[in-house]
Structure 1
């Protein structure tokens, strides 16, 4: 009988995860150039929100479908959608088009990370996973070194379109490796699929996201639009919970949440998702617009986080064996607090090295916690639930990022508009576009540059204050994790 070629499948999985990591670093680094080219800084948040919304909504469905149909067909579907979206994003001629194509890209991204991680859980034992997860996380380090550098070169030479197109050849290789070298057990026939659950979750999250993005900007928080959107989000989510409890194969099997390791790991991941998107989405805007550094330097500050992440993940796998999940996660929570507080106290005069140091500490915190969570969750369930359980953790982190980019974007925009109003200046959110490149800064008076930089700095400090609060909450939630050492499990 043909067996899985574990080294080649692992290499393919790492390549697929590399695509996701590069997507995070390159697009964030290139966004100032994209906004300057396409315009529409007021829609800056939606470029991230569109991607995160679809990846968050679909991740649970993909996880469940992979338990039913197997990892390979669902992984292939996700990769192909992701690559199609990447191609279209590079062809976007306006910010509205880019946002729409990011929806498509996000639909595919919902499958890439959770199923790639689940495949590793399938082909390696629990003790092997602790080490392999460190290798997987090294992908973030590789992308950190190559991603921003490649992105900076592409933006300054052939154009920002290629930050999307660079995914295509790598995605094809990753897909080929998994389809050829992964051997899966046979799956049952005629399964039921929870389409209603997927629809209800999409409506609920979309309502919440639109409220957070446009609240205080497109309409007042106390307006009827806010009330309708908030009510829709809550009511439809309650219907989703009811539907899931009755479904034969629910998209979200709530019984897995009875396990404390899964429950608290997922709650912490929700909070850390907000931190992650707060740093990766808005740090380049601070470094480029307020510190007046080029895109390559802005990319360097994000690179520091992506270097800290794999280094911490490498040691996390060994710490899990020696001191257990709880202490490893607690150490990660402490690093998250340190990193976010450094952002809170950051001033433009401190320069990009301070930003990079803050970013590095956040990366260490993410590496320690995320590795511990994935390994502990996969050890807590059977093969038949591993896809759903792994997807639930990715879902919660994505949900945190989805809520975070909308909430933090709303805080950013509201603070800027309030700042303009207090000083009786006739500026719009799109006025910030003039700060994002050296060419555009020289085209406006120096007094205007200083005024806009002060406003942007104040707005981003409010964003960082929220990330620090989330770090404190995540640290407290970690105390809910089981205190026992890890057990052993085998490949199912």
Structure 2
């Protein structure tokens, strides 16, 4: 790799990470407006779940394909699919259409983040990676959580459709940069693609996701549909694990999980994925619906996370060299515990400043942990496994977000329905749409408005309680990284 081209490739990678991370969260701030325009609050979580499901399922396949076919062709395919899906999402005129197009968008997004990170692992040494991954994580953090602020401005000015169209030109620039400047070594090894594993994993996750979203809403948790879905999900997941163990070229090579750095980093990433999606998906609904703040303010409460994330990411790159993976990750987990605790204690009268402060601490925790994990994982494997190893970490974080948005959405919907029933109210989940914008909220009777706000506050407090438990679990799991001192030479 020519040294002169590395900065150009790095810029292209940073653009790719920006568009993928922005699109994962920019829709958060726009969702109250989208729900008010298209209707369908009961399908609110499916807009996130559709994107996350497909990006989670495909990330392992893309990671494996990148090791087999090369980074460039797989990245190009994923980026093009992502851009087509983004364009279609802006054209949706119903919630069902939007969900369908988010499936397409997510199927492309699964290639962008892991392959972009893998490319950096290819062109920089282990020592250089500690600093570069800090910059990349900060870009990811800025884009992922500045997205809601951008979304708030777009919704307030030119319309929610542009939250899907805003990154189209940036995606094209990133694609051109990678295709023109990245030169890869020739590949002579012929391997088969694990389509069987991909299908089994897709069916397993889709089944489990549907159960988590609709359980307690469309059917009771203790019912025949719940039992059937749980059984099918477990059977398909068992089939996936069994197929991967006997495959010569599995989507997820389980031997890499024997490495302690990969095992515990991935388990923590599962838990932090739930935290991240829980905060980014539902905080705008709290700020707009309960605190009665405009969409732009709701976006800026999440933007506070984008301040903490890059600061912590750059700091993490330096701490990795001086104090090691374990202490750096443990510090990040402490920030996550404090941040989620503040969200549990949050009340409407505390105002958006409290929400912003809590978001900042979550961002700091994510910046410290995510950078440490990527650097440690890429230093623990050889070139021909780096794509799959990086993808495994992205998979676990995406899986956490996928499970999280479904589970948290179910908790929220169940809490709302329980509150309405206990208060003998005729209100439904769709009634919540009315408090998500100032115009519709002003037309509500005071008693109905207060009841809806109290129900939403209670439901979201239950959501934040689960994120606190995930932060506590992350803290305990990180003790499995004890003994990893710092950046080590690449494994050849």
TMscore range, shorter length: over 0.9
- 1:491 shift after superposition: 9.6
- Assess, with a 3 A threshold, how the Cα gap between structure 1 residues 146 and 269 changes in structure 2: closer, same or farther: closer
- 1:153 shift after superposition: 2.8
Contact 1:260 1:482 in 2 (8 A): no
Secondary structure of 2:211's counterpart equals helix
Contact 2:130 2:487 in 1 (8 A): no
Cα distance in structure 1, aligned partners of 2:58 and 2:3: 30
Cα distance in structure 2, aligned partners of 1:142 and 1:367: 10
- Assess, with a 3 A threshold, how the Cα gap between structure 1 residues 412 and 228 changes in structure 2: closer, same or farther: same
Contact 2:257 2:263 in 1 (8 A): yes
Contact 2:145 2:303 in 1 (8 A): yes
Cα distance in structure 2, aligned partners of 1:491 and 1:257: 15
The answer to whether residue 311 in structure 2 is matched with residue 282 in structure 1 is no
Contact 2:380 2:491 in 1 (8 A): no
Task: Look up the match of 1:227.
Answer: 227
Task: Look up the match of 1:60.
Answer: 60
Match runs of 1:91-490 below 5 Å? 91-140=91-140, 142-143=142-143, 147-188=147-188, 190-490=190-490
- 1:307 shift after superposition: 1.7
Secondary structure of 1:159's counterpart equals coil
Contact 1:4 1:183 in 2 (8 A): no
Contact 1:20 1:109 in 2 (8 A): yes
Cα deviation, 1:254-311, whole Å, max 9, x if unaligned, reads 0000001100000000000000000000000000000000000000011011221111
- 1:484 shift after superposition: 2.9
Contact 1:336 1:362 in 2 (8 A): yes
Cα distance in structure 2, aligned partners of 1:237 and 1:145: 32
Secondary structure of 1:485's counterpart equals coil
The answer to whether residue 66 in structure 2 is matched with residue 72 in structure 1 is no
Cα distance in structure 2, aligned partners of 1:164 and 1:117: 23
Cα distance in structure 2, aligned partners of 1:296 and 1:343: 20
- 1:188 shift after superposition: 2.5
Cα distance in structure 2, aligned partners of 1:295 and 1:303: 12
Cα distance in structure 1, aligned partners of 2:4 and 2:396: 30
Cα distance in structure 2, aligned partners of 1:235 and 1:427: 38
Secondary structure of 2:452's counterpart equals helix
Cα distance in structure 1, aligned partners of 2:4 and 2:101: 35
- 1:31 shift after superposition: 0.8
Cα distance in structure 2, aligned partners of 1:142 and 1:273: 16
Task: Look up the match of 2:15.
Answer: 15
Contact 1:121 1:491 in 2 (8 A): no
Cα deviation, 1:376-398, whole Å, max 9, x if unaligned, reads 00000000000000000000000
Cα deviation, 1:19-78, whole Å, max 9, x if unaligned, reads 122213421111111111111000000000000000000000000000001100000011
Task: Answer with 437-446 or 17-26: which moved more.
Answer: 17-26
Residue correspondences, number: 492
TM-score (normalised: structure 2) = 0.98
Secondary structure of 1:479's counterpart equals helix
Secondary structure of 2:134's counterpart equals helix
Contact 1:336 1:471 in 2 (8 A): yes
Cα distance in structure 2, aligned partners of 1:291 and 1:320: 40
Cα deviation, 1:170-228, whole Å, max 9, x if unaligned, reads 10000000010001111135420000000000011011000000000011111111111
Secondary structure of 1:77's counterpart equals helix
Task: Answer with 239-248 or 288-297: which moved more.
Answer: 239-248
Task: Answer with 258-267 or 135-144: which moved more.
Answer: 135-144
Cα-Cα RMSD: 1.4
Secondary structure of 1:100's counterpart equals helix
- Assess, with a 3 A threshold, how the Cα gap between structure 1 residues 274 and 303 changes in structure 2: closer, same or farther: same
Cα distance in structure 2, aligned partners of 1:9 and 1:338: 37
- 1:167 shift after superposition: 1.6
Cα distance in structure 2, aligned partners of 1:145 and 1:301: 9
Q: Which ranges of structure 1 fall in alignment gaps of 5 or more residues?
A: none
Task: Answer with 463-472 or 135-144: which moved more.
Answer: 135-144
Contact 1:125 1:491 in 2 (8 A): no
Contact 1:274 1:405 in 2 (8 A): yes
- Assess, with a 3 A threshold, how the Cα gap between structure 1 residues 148 and 208 changes in structure 2: closer, same or farther: closer
Secondary structure of 2:480's counterpart equals coil
- 1:145 shift after superposition: 8.4
- 1:4 shift after superposition: 7.4
Contact 1:144 1:304 in 2 (8 A): no
- Assess, with a 3 A threshold, how the Cα gap between structure 1 residues 303 and 146 changes in structure 2: closer, same or farther: closer
Contact 1:56 1:110 in 2 (8 A): yes
- 1:156 shift after superposition: 1.9
Cα distance in structure 1, aligned partners of 2:188 and 2:362: 43
Cα distance in structure 2, aligned partners of 1:443 and 1:67: 57
TM-score (normalised: structure 1) = 0.98
Contact 1:25 1:302 in 2 (8 A): no
- 1:144 shift after superposition: 6.7
Contact 2:343 2:464 in 1 (8 A): yes
